[in-house]
Amino acid sequence: MTPAATARAHTNIALVKYWGKADTTQMLPQTSSLSLTLDQFYTDTTVQFDSALTADEVTLNDDRLSPQASGKVQRFLDLVRPDGQFARVQSTNHVPTAAGLASSASAFAALAGAASRAAGLDLTRTELSRLARHGSGSATRSIFGGFAEWTAGTDDQSSVAHPIDETVDWPIAVVALVLNAHQKKVSSRQGMQSSVDTSPFYPAWKDVVAHDLAAIRPAIATHDFQQMGEILESNAMRMHALTLSANPPFTYFNGDSLVAMQAVQDLRDAGTACYYTLDAGPNVKLFCQTKDLPKITQTMADLFGSEHVIVAHPGPGIQFLSSPAKF
């Protein structure tokens, strides 16, 4: 039995989205992407390899996953298993699972950390980023805190993230509206593949991302909030246009998503700078400046109830914790 290892990783929200793979086996994306890691949403995962086990035992939030449900985790563990040993994996999501709040990002970043340490490896953060990518693309960026960019690359070696600004000395916040925390019908993986395969707009998306990345890097470097906001909002809408233009068409928006987007527009018209983005789910995230938080959270609480409004700030990169006693 190897010593147990525990890691914590936070979710990230993409400002310039990853939406499509160039290579599904190696998990190489069609484009680079850029995100902000958040302090309020994270996953804690403990891994222990044990030669006495005859299969992986995966527990998520106190539920033992069936072999089918833990397929992604098993395939991920195959990448680091010492002497073919199976593992006990215990994971807790402090984020709704599969609801478009990037549970797969924190989950596979934490699993990369815990599984590699349990296997006796001492990987650099770049190596952890590369490993995490094999579990979920967005996890590539969650190894790092603050703003991070995942370079698409051309092969396993070159497709990794790097930090752009880990300390984020800038009074910004992300207000997450948890409008529906249930599991989505179309996973990110299915949704992006369908977009790549069937949206006639996909070639244009690749140009959009190249343009947005080039423009958002200096906006972040110079703390140009308006410029950053305009880019992240338009990038998100253009990503969602790929789902609406797929065959068959689909959307991650629900009615409340549209209400929230309109409310942001109204706030902006009344002079409060804030901008929205959505990942693969109905839950809207607002980028704002901390000085405007009281006004924005009040507006959103009036619409959706204060229990559905979560204020997040820039979060840290991967952390290694001491393992729970029962391991």
Q: Which residues bind ligand ADP (CB under 6 A)?
A: 43, 60, 72-73, 91, 93, 97-105, 107, 136, 187-188, 279-281
Please report how the helices 188-198 and 225-244 are oriented relative to each other, as an axis angle in degrees rounded to 10.
80
Nearer to ligand DP6, 53 or 186 (CB): 186
Q: Which partner, ligand DP6, Co ion, ligand ADP, none, binds residue 97 by CB below 5 to 8 Å per kind?
A: ligand ADP
| Residue bearing tokens 């147990």 | 4
**How would you classify the pairing of strands 86-94 and 33-50?**
antiparallel
**Is-contact 100 281, C-beta < 8 A?**
yes
List, as one string, the DSSP characters of 45-68: EEEEEETT-SS-EEEETTEEPPTT
Options 112-120, 130-138, 177-185, 255-263: segment touching ligand DP6 (CB under 6 A):
130-138
Nearer to Co ion, 88 or 285 (CB): 285
CA dist 146 → 34, 86, 270, 317 (Å):
10, 34, 29, 8
Q: Of these, 12, 31, 104, 257, which contacts Co ion (CB under 5 A)?
A: 104
Q: Which partner, ligand ADP, Co ion, ligand DP6, none, binds residue 281 by CB below 5 to 8 Å per kind?
A: ligand ADP
Q: Which partner, Co ion, ligand ADP, ligand DP6, none, binds residue 18 by CB below 5 to 8 Å per kind?
A: ligand DP6
What would the x/- binding string for Co ion be over residues 154 to 193, using CB under 5 A?
----------------------------------x-----
- Residues with Cβ within 8 Å of residue 124, at least 6 apart in sequence: none
What does the alpha-carbon distance between residue 184 and residue 187 come to, in Å, rounded to a whole number? 6
- Residues with Cβ within 8 Å of residue 149, at least 6 apart in sequence: 32, 33, 34, 35, 141, 161, 162, 164, 213, 217
Least distance between ligand ADP and beta carbon 248 (Å): 18
Least distance between ligand ADP and beta carbon 178 (Å): 12
What does the alpha-carbon distance between residue 260 and residue 10 come to, in Å, rounded to a whole number? 24
Positions 86 through 105 that interact with ligand DP6 (CB under 6 A) = 102, 104
Is 184 a binding residue for ligand DP6 by CB under 6 A? The answer is: no
Nearer to Co ion, 187 or 222 (CB): 187
Phi-psi category of residue 195: left, alpha or beta, with phi > 0 → left and psi -120 to 50 → alpha: alpha
**Which residues are at the interface with Co ion (CB under 5 A)?**
104, 188
Which residues form the interface with ligand DP6 (CB under 6 A)? 14, 17-19, 33, 102, 104, 136-138, 188-189, 279-280
